[in-house]
Every structure is written in C-alpha cells, then in structure tokens.
Amino acid sequence: MENASKKVYVDASGIAVFVCQKCGAVKRERAQVYQDAKGPVTIECPCGNTYAVSVEFRKFYRKEAKLFGLYSTASEPGKWEDMTVKNISMQGCGFETVKPNLLDPDQEISIEFHLDDANRSVIRKRAVVCSVYKKYVGCRYIELPGIIDTDYGFYLRNL
C-alpha cells in the first residue's frame, strides 16, 4: 500500500470515482459510506492492489497556501493576532495561529491577509469559526463573493 493518499472529490450526485494507481481500474461508488471516515480510507482493487484515498465532500476546491495574515475577534476588534493561512476556498479558509488561541466555533472574526500574487492583493473578510484544533482554525466567510471577488477568484483558479 502506498504511503501518500490521493484526494477524490465527491460529485454533485454523491458519487466518488476511485482509480487504481497500479492497473487503472475505475470504481464508481456512493460516497455516503465514507462520510464519517476519520482520515483516508483504504480501497481494494480487483487486481489485488490496496491504496489510501481521502474522500473530499467540499463543494468548493480548497487551495493549499502559506500566507501571512492577521485575525481579530468581534469582541476585541482592535486586537490583531498573527496567523498563517494554510488553505483557502471560495467559502472560507484554514489558518494556524502563532500563539495558542481562545477561539471557539460560531465565534465571529475578521481576517486580513495578502495573496502571493503579482499584486500582493489584500484580502479582508469577516468570518465565522467552524472548527478549532490546537492552533489550527477553520472558518467560513460571512460575506461570500458575489459574482466573483476578482483577485481572490483569479488566485484560486491558478493552480
């Protein structure tokens, strides 16, 4: 079995498509059975190969990043803390705080960070904390982009 797991995205109809890296066999399966999986799942191919796959249920692509930024809470709007944005999508981002944080799910925050594009575009968003694990925070933007947040949308499209 390979060490690194591949990501498989679930389509709008709830189907995940698994492709064996060894023989190329394609297996289409309802992804709902993997909804509660904690981490990668093991897929067994008829050729005998087994491989690890992370099943991704997100509606929007999430781009890995390493972007310096700041966050503040709605309760202390003038007190900014350092963070590093680890991933972004059209609906939100994940970031890591430098110091231990006291953030809680459903807490409103403001975030600001620079993209590493040619313009060093500044992104400012209000967000709601969805999850906290040690110094890692996952959040969802309150104001979702309208038709398109130009710099942000362009950045996400450039893989």
- pLDDT tens-digit profile of 114-139? 999 888 999 999 999 988 999 999 99
Query: Is a pLDDT exceeding 50 seen at residue 2?
Result: no
Q: Are residues 44 and 98 in the same domain?
A: no
Tell me what the pLDDT averaged over the chain comes to: 85
Task: Give the pair of three-digit tokens for residue 29.
Answer: 């399966």
Query: By percentage, how much of the chain surpasses pLDDT 90?
Result: 40
Q: Are residues 33 and 100 in the same domain?
A: no
Q: Are residues 42 and 81 in the same domain?
A: no
Q: Are residues 35 and 71 in the same domain?
A: no
Query: By percentage, how much of the chain surpasses pLDDT 70?
Result: 89
**Rounded Cα–Cα distance for residues 77 and 79 (Å):** 6
Cβ atoms of residues 83 and 95 within 8 Å:
yes
> What pTM, to 2 d.p., does this model score?
0.63
Residue 31 has a pLDDT of 85
Residues 6+ apart with CB under 8 A from 56: 7, 8, 9, 10, 62
Residue ranges making up the domain that contains 24 = 6-56
Residue 70 has a pLDDT of 97
Q: Are residues 72 and 146 in the same domain?
A: yes
Q: Are residues 86 and 16 in the same domain?
A: no
Query: Is a pLDDT exceeding 80 seen at residue 60?
Result: no
